[in-house]
Structure 1
């Protein structure tokens, strides 16, 4: 408990009184038992000692009291300065503890407000606040990513959904309500596909991208989408009326986003001519690989596991501060039975459908661990993407525990990456499991951040080491202020958690220069290095 100046004064007087009583008692004893001469000499000596001791005690107590008063004055001055900076109104009669409590409360409030502002800055340029989905800028950046990135499936579909309004008076609040209802239906449809993007193009238009959708599937989904949306509860008061139309277009890699959106818009106009609640689309006669059925994929993937036909490559992640290699991301390709090379973006969704994702994850982890163990002389950590299917399977966790206990997996040589949109979808189921991964010694990384616009509910609960931006956020960031605002807000929100923000898909020097100015911690991409066949060191670059 802290002592006040008054308690220090009382202590000093009590000490002096004790010394005086002690001196009287000692003198009385000596006079009673000693001869006169010896008693006088001893009497003088003892009193000199007692007086010196009393003087020192008094000096020391006064000095402590002055120090306390000086510290108290400094505390009052500091609290007063904080009150002035925070524009707090306090009474002169408030004790220092009461004033400090008010300051603490105000600082807590300001910190919470700061987090809200940072989140607002993060999404301000990319979100439609009425519907809580991405806006046109957000969608075009994602579409451009799917059209140009070799790691994604090279084809898919874009659907434009336009609401029609037979009565002008139904605009405004009613329109927003109907759009929200349509977004809910689209989210339900999107749940059945691996890679989707939903956004608002204009006041009355929504847009949805589905990667990997072929021609016949696209047509069936367009008709199904028209039925589900027109029968949605948000149109309950519009029975038998023309409430919406859908236009869709197939896209392929190397096309432009303008071309795709123009074709979808043309299809939308054609749908309007076909009648109420109609859907129409343009399907390309493309040269994409012939679709194979689930039986073929199951057989091919099982054989690939038995014959170890999954080839690994390693893309280094570089630190911005010193240019050193932080880690290598492990990339996987399937060497097919006809000697083809199938990228992960194509075979992983099929592995998920066949229930083989967790087995492939196990194979990749073991193979990576062996390579890391052989490279211990030039230590460099590897990061491996883990599927949502594996994380949700109890058998996979039993396997992981066994591999760690037996020493076949060294957690400190591996970082595990989890895709953000899968994490958000299954967060309640995954939270404890991901904390367990950290307890085992694995570093946790969230990747593809920015593919969806949502609150990062995991931020305050998971012991993350890094997050990795989705390539669509990085591409041409030097030309788009909205993307810069997003990244700046993201970095600010993670700064207080000591979480690194890494960029993926960096291809141009101009992109990297802007990312450095924004405060990015590191990056990977073709600007730095192509994926390598082996783990490399800084000196091998």
Structure 2
């Protein structure tokens, strides 16, 4: 081990002290025998000590100088090597400290740039950079998801907003400004609905999808959008009153995205014939299955809680590395009185409107915990989706604390999933609460990543274990380079943070092969297993 200057200093002074003590001891002995001889010896010994001290001091100074010179040379060599790798222009007059400060500044700059590049790669293929919303590829993938996925509400509306007089001068600066103003208005409207998607279809067209919107609501919203958009401040400098038109069409599951967009485009052309700032749409006659009023839903959901008619199913999530089961996601269905099953996509929005989401979350957590406790150790943990409404209620947190303290909930057997687009809307309110969940021992998972394109502000602040891709990002990913680029950038943004990226909705082998090449950590979907009535072990597959 190399000796430090401090160790050399201690050694020198210890030796001098020993020499001085030896001289004092000899002089004391001689003083008792011969006083004159003792005086001579004292004089000689003091001079010897002084000479030794001077010699040691000189030697110590030379030694320290050599050590520091060697360390400075090593530091200069290391800094020079870093400067070469970072392509910095070095100055001979720079001290090692100044050179090191330059290197530190450059490394900080490169780290920041690396984060920006990763975010750019993440969204490059799916975003319109002028408006900071999704592009046509992004929107069509989301629309296809809502038209085919059984877990989503099977109906809704698509609105196309088109500027009436595109700007052709000044490189379309005014046009982009007006489109940005329209996007701000649409974001305000979208805030009132659970599931929305906003994107840019073309140079002058915006599109918005709203899931779960019925015929009458669709028509009212179309007229409201026309009024709000035409009065937006971005059109204040327009010479005429005719600034935009809106066409909309209702959709149902199993239709094609081409059919829906074609109908919305036809409605847009009809709106143009109706006059300035008009809205027109094609509404499906039977677009709202299981249509019931809020009073019926409140009564039905309360009865279902009392009678425990919420059925749980479990879909395993498999690891890419070894094929083992990582966890089971808990899926919820409502058993109706006529022995039918209502999917969560139908009853959960109604539960939210009736203020019953947190009670349903409590019921599902308790039921899942009992199943886990019944056969502990034979299978992996379960993950449960938690509503934003529950996380925002103080009463729910009191209940959770009690359940954990009493041992009725074992955090290490449960992971809690939070939907990304809901998290982003309420992030400031939820950040501390989510950190508390982790402190209690629950693993945190962000679900439906990729449904919206936005900065993941939570990435560096939440102790996440995993994120799960939205099924629309996964579907047919082998055929779409844009989606592959998105997933690659997403995985890169989580690199080094020990956060797994999982895929949901995997249905085809070709999709799974591409996802593995992109670096995905695991996946779930019909390609692996359908949801089952019980939790299974690896050996039961």
What's the TM-score, normalizing by structure 2? 0.90
More divergent stretch after superposition (253-262 vs 35-44): 35-44
Matched residues, number: 541
Quick check: 2:488–2:518 contact (8 Å CA) kept in 1? yes
Q: 1:12 to 1:99 in 2, by over 3 A?
A: farther
Report the counterpart of residue 330 of structure 2 in structure 1. Answer: 330
Q: Given that residues 329 and 382 in structure 2 are in contact (C-alpha distance below 8 angstroms), is that contact kept between their aligned partners in structure 1?
A: yes
Shift of 1:207: 0.2
Tell me if structure 2 keeps the 8 A contact 1:328–1:380: yes
Change over 3 Å in CA distance of 1:512–1:71 after alignment to 2: farther
User: Is the contact between residue 27 and residue 43 of structure 1 (CA under 8 Å) also seen in structure 2?
Assistant: no
Whether the 8 Å CA contact 2:30–2:38 is kept in 1: the answer is: no
CA shift in 2, pair 1:292/1:46, >3 Å: same
SS at match of 1:437: helix
- C-alpha displacement at 1:528, in angstroms? 0.9
Decide whether the 8 Å contact of 2:155 with 2:287 is kept in 1.
no
SS at 2:150's partner residue? Answer: coil
3-state secondary structure, aligned to 1:452: coil
RMSD after superposition: 4.0
Task: Determine the structure 2 residue equivalent to 1:427.
Answer: 427
2:256 counterpart of 1:287 = no
CA contact (8 A) 1:5 1:65 kept: no
Deviation string, structure 1 residues 75-110 (Cα, Å, up to 9, x no partner): 332221011111223333434333323222221111
Mark the CA change 1:67 to 1:522 in structure 2 (over 3 Å): closer, same or farther.
Answer: farther
Displacement of 1:380 after TM fit? 1.4
Structure 2 unmatched ranges of 5 or more: none
Structure 1 contact 23–50 (Cα < 8 Å) conserved: no
Deviations 1:372-409 (A, max 9, x none): 11120314111100001101111111111111111111
**Runs of 5+ unmatched residues, structure 1:** none
1:268-310 Cα offsets, whole Å, 9 max, x none, are: 1111112111111122334752411101101100000000000
Question: How far off is 1:469 after superposition?
Answer: 0.7
Q: TM-score by structure 1 length?
A: 0.90
Query: 3-state DSSP class of the match of 1:332?
Result: strand
Contact preservation (8 Å) 2:379, 2:535 = no
Q: Does 1:388 find its partner at 2:351?
A: no
Query: Using a 3 Å threshold, how does the CA distance of structure 1 residues 207 and 64 change in structure 2: closer, same or farther?
Result: same
1:174–1:535: structure 2 CA closer, same or farther, 3 Å change rule?
same
Deviations 1:398-448 (A, max 9, x none): 111111111111111111111111111011111111111111111111111
> Counterpart of 1:171 in 2: which secondary structure?
helix
Give the Å deviation of 1:111. 0.7
Does the C-alpha gap of structure 1 residues 325 and 52 become closer, same or farther in structure 2, counting only changes over 3 Å?
farther
What SS is found at the alignment partner of 2:169? helix
CA–CA separation in structure 2 for the residues paired with 1:504 and 1:401: 31
Q: Is the 8 A contact 1:384 1:414 kept in 2?
A: yes
Per the alignment, residue 270 of structure 1 pairs with 270
Deviations 1:481-520 (A, max 9, x none): 1111111111111112211111111111111111111111
1:413 is matched with: 413
* Secondary structure of the corresponding residue to residue 463 of structure 2: coil
Q: Quick one: structure 1 residues 383 and 54, their matched pair in 2 at CA, closer, same or farther if it must change by over 3 Å? A: farther
Distance 1:510 1:64 in 2: 67
- What does the per-residue CA deviation read over 1:9-37, in whole Å, with 9 as the maximum and x for residues that have no partner? 99759957974884696478469659999
CA contact (8 A) 1:19 1:50 kept: no
1:43 Cα offset (Å)? 18
* 2:247 is equivalent to residue 251 of structure 1: no
Q: Do the aligned partners of 1:165 and 1:171 also contact (CA within 8 Å) in 2?
A: no
Q: For 1:169 and 1:527, locate their aligned partners in 2 and report how far apart those are by CA, in whole Å.
A: 52
